[in-house]
Amino acid sequence: MQEILKVAMPKGRIYKQASRLLQRAGLPIPEDVHEDTRKYMIPVPEAGMEFIIAKPVDVPIFVEYGVADIGIVGKDVLMEEQRDVYELLDLGIARCRMSIIGLPDWKPVLNPRVATKYPNVASRYFRQKGQQVEVIKLNGSIELAPLIGLSDRIVDMVETGQTIKENGLVEHEVMYDITSRLIANRVSYRLKHEPIRHLCDMLQRSLHETEARK
- 132 DSSP 8-state letter: -
- One pLDDT digit (tens) per residue for the chain, 214 residues: 568 999 999 988 898 899 899 999 998 876 555 545 577 898 989 889 999 999 999 999 999 999 999 999 999 999 999 999 999 999 999 999 999 999 999 999 999 999 999 999 999 999 999 999 999 999 989 999 999 999 999 999 999 999 999 999 999 999 999 999 999 999 999 999 999 999 999 999 999 887 777 6
User: What is the C-alpha to C-alpha distance for residues 145 and 151, in angstroms, rounded to an integer?
Assistant: 5
Angle, helices 13-24 vs 193-213, to 10°: value is: 90
Chain region(s) in the chain for CATH 3.40.190.10: 5-94+179-213, 96-177
If one looks up domain 5-94+179-213 in CATH, what number appears?
Answer: 3.40.190.10
Q: How many alpha carbons lie under 13 Å from residue 52 in its C-beta half-sphere?
A: 21
CA dihedral (79, 84, 86, 91) positive or negative: negative
User: What is the C-alpha to C-alpha distance for residues 119 and 134, in angstroms, rounded to an integer?
Assistant: 10
Q: What is 96-177's CATH number, 2.60.40.1180, 3.30.70.100, 3.40.50.150, 3.40.190.10?
A: 3.40.190.10
